[in-house]
């Protein structure tokens, strides 16, 4: 079912026939003491029991509930829907959640060889996914460490299960899947000597270039008005502090932090719009994007609108698919931005599945100035549906925080619901640093009243209006900061 097939946001009455559509959970879902359930029995006149207990059903036959899980190792939820003499039933077999065993400590096996990072071709990934960086982790399956560009040559000192450990610099170790570095490479020096450092600016951005024999792994951290660029496996030829000015760059300080760890601290005159690192033939370049485009307002900026899903995505109790709803909201948002003189870019503009990496590639190719990913929420394991009755916004990179705060305020106000919060989370679509990016869970799609609203032009308009108001507020703040 698609969004916008009714004219108002109330839950309509539906008189039948009897049906039983359980959207969640399905067989095999893990559950502990209680679990969310949602779906439809097709009629507001019908009744529903789960394991013999009578349950609330909305006027359209939809339900979104939080029910106890029966005892035992193989709990079963028995759904029984009844309308007159007609009865339908279905069992959902759950898996009892047990405390996770202590994580197995890696026992790496010494390996010792130089490898070149290269993601293997796959029929299940698109060309965009193939080209994206490989995200390393500080431990197998642990927290994300830093992106590693394909083509890097690094020393792999150990293996464990299907992972390999890479040495970025003495004492700095990260893990990646073994399949992502299948190519043996010639040995090179563990630490490379950087030659010269140069600065340049062209008005819209400034850059710092470090001459190197080949590309190395790097990480950029940002705190107010300072970018710290760490180059792993590098020693600096000139370790002295060097004052410089180029564009928004006030000064640059070079420091060796230890064997094979060089840092370049960049003091800025203002917070950058974004930044990224590129390899340009014989030098590693940190590009710093200033706010000139967004200072000029909507007409000068490209705004990426990402309609979340497919693949996957939530299905509401009455059958509204998240990917259908998000596309309707993205299109309505784009229409409103154009009316204000803006230049929206629809990252997905049809029903075709699109990978997370492909979305970022599309945003990069369009050279967007900010990125908003649009979603509808559902509760996680062990949480009631009412937990998502509100607006939740995620951010990851520091340049996305103020955009996220504006969208949280404006979307929640437009949809007339509470603010759940502004949360930092490592979602794939938020990893880009070249532009501010946020992910908006506008409302709980699994809740029948919210789902009914999002089926209407008014509900879609309210969500879109909130996004537009948040974007306009953010642009206004950029202009005010310049004055």
Burial 302-314 (b: 16+ CB within 10 A, else e): bbbbbbbbbeebb
Asked whether residue 268 is domain-assigned, the answer is yes
- Tell me the sheet residues that pair with 446: none
Q: Are strands 153-160 and 109-116 parallel, antiparallel or unpaired?
A: antiparallel
pLDDT tens per residue, range 163-190: 999 999 999 999 999 989 877 899 999 9
Half-sphere exposure of 436 (CA within 13 A, CB side): 24
- What CATH code is carried by the domain that includes residue 418? 3.40.630.40
- What CATH code is carried by the domain that includes residue 246? 2.60.40.3500
Asked whether residue 87 is domain-assigned, the answer is yes
Residue listed under structure tokens 């996957």: 312
Main-chain phi, psi angles of 91, to 5 degrees: -105, 140
How many Cβ atoms are within 10 Å of 359's Cβ, its own excluded? 22
The answer to whether 246 touches 199, Cβ cutoff 8 Å, is yes
Q: What are 285's two structure tokens? A: 């370049």
Q: What are 217's two structure tokens? A: 């792994």
Domains: count for the chain: 4
The answer to whether 217 touches 148, Cβ cutoff 8 Å, is yes
The answer to whether 216 touches 250, Cβ cutoff 8 Å, is no
Instruction: Give first-to-last CA distance, the chain, whole Å.
Output: 49
Domain of residue 137 covers 109-184
Asked whether residue 6 is domain-assigned, the answer is no
For 359-405, the DSSP string reads HHHHHHHHT-SEEEEEEEE---TT--GGGGSSEEEEE-SGGGHHHHH
Q: Residue 8: its pLDDT value, please?
A: 44
The answer to whether 411 touches 454, Cβ cutoff 8 Å, is no
How many Cβ atoms are within 10 Å of 96's Cβ, its own excluded? 14
Residue 264 shares a structural domain with residue 170: no
Percentage of the chain surpassing pLDDT 70?
93
Q: Which helix (H) or strand (E) holds 424?
A: strand 419-424
How many Cβ atoms are within 10 Å of 74's Cβ, its own excluded? 9
d(CA 384, CA 445): 13
pTM, to two decimals:
0.92
DSSP state of 69: P
Residue 80 shares a structural domain with residue 120: no
Asked whether residue 16 is domain-assigned, the answer is no
Q: Residue 92: its pLDDT value, please?
A: 97
Q: Which of 290, 319, 337 is the last residue in one of the domains?
A: 290
Residue 276 shares a structural domain with residue 167: no
The answer to whether 298 touches 472, Cβ cutoff 8 Å, is yes
Q: Which of 165, 184, 203 is the last residue in one of the domains?
A: 184
d(CA 474, CA 483): 15
DSSP state of 178: G
Asked whether residue 226 is domain-assigned, the answer is yes
Residue 233 shares a structural domain with residue 205: yes
Asked if the bond preceding 17 is cis, omega within 30° of 0, the reply is yes
Q: Please give the sequence-ordered ranges of beta strands (E in DSSP) within 72-196, or none if there are none.
A: 76-83, 86-93, 95-96, 109-116, 134-137, 144-148, 153-160, 163-169, 172-177, 183-184, 192-194
Q: Are strands 302-307 and 370-377 parallel, antiparallel or unpaired?
A: parallel
Main-chain phi, psi angles of 35, to 5 degrees: -145, 150
d(CA 446, CA 62): 10
Residue 356 shares a structural domain with residue 462: yes
Asked whether residue 41 is domain-assigned, the answer is yes
Residue 381 shares a structural domain with residue 473: yes
Main-chain phi, psi angles of 390, to 5 degrees: 165, -175
- What CATH code is carried by the domain that includes residue 170? 2.30.30.40
Q: Residue 316: its pLDDT value, please?
A: 97
The answer to whether 446 touches 440, Cβ cutoff 8 Å, is no
Residue 426 shares a structural domain with residue 478: yes
Residue 407 shares a structural domain with residue 346: yes
Is the dihedral angle over the CA atoms 232, 237, 239, 244 positive or is it negative?
Answer: negative
Residue 336 shares a structural domain with residue 431: yes
d(CA 140, CA 146): 14
Residue 234 shares a structural domain with residue 273: yes
The answer to whether 359 touches 306, Cβ cutoff 8 Å, is yes
Q: Residue 6: its pLDDT value, please?
A: 42
Residue 64 shares a structural domain with residue 139: no
Asked whether residue 82 is domain-assigned, the answer is yes
Residue 37 shares a structural domain with residue 130: no
Q: At what angle do helices 457-482 and 322-339 cross, to 10 degrees?
A: 50
Q: Which of 96, 125, 159 is the last residue in one of the domains?
A: 96
pLDDT tens for the 483 residues of the chain, in order: 444 344 445 899 999 899 999 999 999 999 999 999 999 999 999 999 999 999 999 999 999 999 999 998 899 999 999 999 999 999 999 999 877 777 778 889 999 999 999 887 655 456 666 678 999 999 998 899 999 999 999 999 999 999 999 999 999 999 999 989 877 899 999 999 998 889 998 878 999 999 999 999 999 999 988 999 999 999 987 654 444 566 789 999 998 888 899 999 999 988 899 999 999 999 999 999 988 768 778 888 899 999 999 999 999 999 999 999 999 999 999 999 999 999 999 999 999 999 998 999 999 999 999 999 999 999 977 899 999 999 999 999 999 999 999 999 999 999 999 999 999 999 999 999 999 999 999 999 999 999 999 999 999 999 999 999 999 999 998 877 665
Non-local CB neighbours of 375 within 8 Å, separated by 6+ positions: 308, 309, 322, 326, 439, 440, 441, 442
Non-local CB neighbours of 97 within 8 Å, separated by 6+ positions: 30, 31, 32, 381, 382
Q: Residue 126: its pLDDT value, please?
A: 60
Asked whether residue 13 is domain-assigned, the answer is no
Is the dihedral angle over the CA atoms 142, 148, 151, 156 positive or is it negative?
Answer: negative
The answer to whether 353 touches 310, Cβ cutoff 8 Å, is yes
The answer to whether 466 touches 415, Cβ cutoff 8 Å, is yes
């Amino acid at each position: 079912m698609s969004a916008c097939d009714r004219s108002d946001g109330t839950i309509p009455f539906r008189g039948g026939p009897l049906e039983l559509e359980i959207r969640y959970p399905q067989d095999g879902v893990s559950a502990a003491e209680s679990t969310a359930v949602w779906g439809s029995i097709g009629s507001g006149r019908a009744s529903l029991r789960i394991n013999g207990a009578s349950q609330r059903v909305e006027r359209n036959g939809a339900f979104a509930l939080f029910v106890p899980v029966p005892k035992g190792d193989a709990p079963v939820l028995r759904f029984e829907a009844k309308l007159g003499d007609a009865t339908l039933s279905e069992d959902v077999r759950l898996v009892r959640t047990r405390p996770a065993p202590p994580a197995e400590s890696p026992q790496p096996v010494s390996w010792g060889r130089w490898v070149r990072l290269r993601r293997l071709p796959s029929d299940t990934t698109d060309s965009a996914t193939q080209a994206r960086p490989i995200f390393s982790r500080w431990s197998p399956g642990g927290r994300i460490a830093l992106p590693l560009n394909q083509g890097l040559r690094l020393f792999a000192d150990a293996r464990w299960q299907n992972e390999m450990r890479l040495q970025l610099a003495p004492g700095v170790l990260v893990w990646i899947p073994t399949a992502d570095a299948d190519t043996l490479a010639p040995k090179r020096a563990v630490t490379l000597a950087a030659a010269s450092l140069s600065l340049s600016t062209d008005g819209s951005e400034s850059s710092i270039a470090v001459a190197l024999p080949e590309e190395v792994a790097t990480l950029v951290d940002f705190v107010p008005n300072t970018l710290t660029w760490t180059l792993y496996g590098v020693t600096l030829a000139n370790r002295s502090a060097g004052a410089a000015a180029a564009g928004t760059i006030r000064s640059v300080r070079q420091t060796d932090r230890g064997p094979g760890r060089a840092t370049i601290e960049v003091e800025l005159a203002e917070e950058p719009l974004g930044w990224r690192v590129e390899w340009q033939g014989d030098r590693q370049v940190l590009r710093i994007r200033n706010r000139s485009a967004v200072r000029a307002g909507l007409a000068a900026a490209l705004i990426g609108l990402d309609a979340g899903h497919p693949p996957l995505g939530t299905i509401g109790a009455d059958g509204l698919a998240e990917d259908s709803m998000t596309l309707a909201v993205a299109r309505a948002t784009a229409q409103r931005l154009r009316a204000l003189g803006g230049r929206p870019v629809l990252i997905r503009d049809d029903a075709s599945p699109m990978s997370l990496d492909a979305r970022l590639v599309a945003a990069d190719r369009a050279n967007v100035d900010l990125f908003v990913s649009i979603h509808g929420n559902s509760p996680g394991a062990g949480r009631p549906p009412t937990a998502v009755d509100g607006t939740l916004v995620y951010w990851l990179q520091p340049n996305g925080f103020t955009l996220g705060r504006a969208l949280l305020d404006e979307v929640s106000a437009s949809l007339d619901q509470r603010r759940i919060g502004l949360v930092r989370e490592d979602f794939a679509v938020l990893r880009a640093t070249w532009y501010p990016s946020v992910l908006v869970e506008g409302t709980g799609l699994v809740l029948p009243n919210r789902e009914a609203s999002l089926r209407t032009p008014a509900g879609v308009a309210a969500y879109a209006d909130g996004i537009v108001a948040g974007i306009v507020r953010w642009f206004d703040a950029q202009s005010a900061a310049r004055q």
